[in-house]
Amino acid sequence: MEKRTASLLFIMLVGVIGISLAGCAAGPTITAPAKTMPEMLKEAGFKPFLAETPQEMAHLQTCPKDTLMIHNQKGALCYAFADPTSKSMYIGDEAAYRRLQGLLDKQKQTLMEQRIEDDPQFRTLWMNKYGGG
């Protein structure tokens, strides 16, 4: 009888240890926190340009919020994202746009886009800094 009790206790102990180890193996995994939009824009190759004048700051406030603006500059598409919080305009080309789309897909995020037909303020305030004005 003692032998049977000892065997039963041994089996229970092995079971408890097994369940504990299985719980550790299937425990929560650490995932990277979601990146902010400015972090993703920089990683994709967008260049941040700090608003240095009152006119630039005012223009940031008038841009569509949380929207990637698509500008046609002399036949080439230019992508811009206004971030009034960091007082910056992020500007990128087609390659940066494609990299941003890949980053957004990885994080299962989307970004609104708006084609801007003509924004003379954008051209005069930001494109000269970017090198396309």
pLDDT by position in tens, the chain (length 133): 566 665 655 555 555 555 555 555 555 555 666 788 999 999 999 999 999 999 999 999 999 999 999 988 777 889 999 999 999 999 999 999 999 999 999 888 888 888 887 777 787 788 767 665 4
Which range of residues forms the domain containing residue 79? 37-130
6 and 71 inside one domain: no
d(CA 39, CA 7): 59
Quick one: 14 and 46 in the same domain?
no
64 and 22 in a common domain: no
Q: Please tell me the total count of domains within the chain.
A: 2
The token duo for 73 is 């500059």
Residue 53 and residue 117 share a domain: yes
User: Are residues 57 and 101 located together in one domain of the fold?
Assistant: yes
Instruction: Tell me the pTM.
Output: 0.69
Coil vs helix vs strand at 24: helix
Do 22 and 46 fall within a single domain? no
**What angle, rounded to 10 degrees, do the helices at 37-44 and 94-106 form?**
130
